[in-house]
Homo-oligomer: A and B are copies of this chain.
Amino acid sequence: MSVVPKGTAVPRGFSFSSAHCGLKKRKADLALFVSESPASAAAVFTTNCVQAAPVCLSRRHMAHAASRMRAVVVNSGNANCSTGPIGVKASETTAASAAQALGCSPPEVLVCSTGVIGVPLPVGKLTRAIPDLVATRQPTPEAFSRVTHAIMTTDTRPKWAAATCQLGGKNVRLIGCAKGAGMIHPNMATMLAFVCTDAAVPHRVLQEALRRIASRTFNAISVDGDTSTNDSVIVLANGASGCTLIEGSGTEFERFCSALESICKSLALAIVQDGEGAQRVIEIEVRGAESIGDADRVARTIANSPLVKTAFAGADANWGRILAAAGRSGVNFDPEGAEIRMAGIQVYKRGVACKFDERAAHRKLLGRYVQVRVDLGVRNGQAESEGMARIWTCDFTAEYVRINASYRS
């Protein structure tokens, strides 16, 4: 059964396919995104200074062919990271093999891998599967649906989102999918996300849009504070909708960005929701900071505190841990001027605890989506977006530990 409904409008000029090439025992482990005509590409990659071979190769290909990208090949089951020169060669071979089958040049193909670190990628399994993978590609929701499964590792469910918007009298379509559930057995996993759109956007405009949007979506989520060696977000825009070229400003640009952001945010939240062992998504909003940077630092410290995250596992209105995490973030504020709300309940104000019904708070905190508001009180009366940041995380359960502590076998 297709997770992507039959009637879903797939962006024109894109096709998709998936295969089981043998990296993973039972499930599909190879996926292909193809733009039938040259597409503008934008990409953001992991900031970890340990970078997997496919990330290094894709960076290089982006430098050469970001305005005429044709395809992305994704394998699950092996990260191809810390695999030395043969790892780089394996990624090159993968791209060359797809390029040959598609009739394009190797730099017009991006490569992503996710799975175990430090194990050589058996690239022969990929090259044997790629001709058929290319030949069987289809421009359908069903094919896209199979791709959302093929990129999964320990994800418990496929993650996808679609949007349309009217640009210059044309219906522009966007569709995206992602994988990621924190870091996984037997090594670390990766967040990968792919968005295809038939909008016409120059590479530089698309790249700037993605950079802005990623900071508010994919870079604003945290499952465990660990950044993978393979994280990649790739957007392809092929212009097949026939819309006019979107410039880097103006209402058309803003509306396109808004559609792209809705997809990225939906995928990012789906990753948090599928966090290893997670029961609920926690939105941490920090206001009243001196700057957005300060607010972000406080929000991230709270979102990554094991004490805060375990308290949420128990639906415990434990504001002392939130206050203490904010206090150790390195951002200066006066606790006497700060306020904390959990699930809409004021729990801390002006240096002391508020009186509130613990049992009622517990019931509210058992929800699937819990909002935390911290006002540092450093700046008041400012515009909403100044001194404010929002981070999404999930609770930290014993199940997370069980998933991550299991001995590799």
Contact = CB atoms under 8 A, between A and B. Distances in A.
A408 interface: yes
Contacts of A49: 327-328, 331-333, 335
A66 to B, nearest CB: 25
A315 B408 CA distance: 10
A188 B307 contact: yes
Contacts of A319: 118
A186 interface: yes
A335 to B, nearest CB: 5
Interface of A: 47-51, 79, 81-84, 116-119, 183, 186-188, 224-229, 304-307, 310-311, 313-321, 323-328, 331-333, 335, 348, 350-353, 358, 362, 396-398, 400-402, 404-408
A293 to B, nearest CB: 15
B306 A225 contact: yes
Contacts of A83: 352
B316 A118 contact: no
B358 A408 contact: yes
How many copies make up the complex? 2
Contacts of A315: 407
A387 to B, nearest CB: 17
Contact of A348 (B79, B82, B225, B405): B82
A376 B186 CA distance: 24
A405 B48 contact: no
A405 B278 CA distance: 13
Given A117-B320, A407-B362, A226 B351 contact: no
A125 to B, nearest CB: 19
Given A50-B323, A118-B348, A188-B307, 18 more contacts: A47-B328, A50-B326, A82-B335, A84-B351, A187-B318, A188-B324, A225-B305, A226-B325, A227-B327, A229-B324, A306-B396, A310-B404, A314-B405, A314-B406, A362-B407, A396-B401, A396-B405, A400-B401
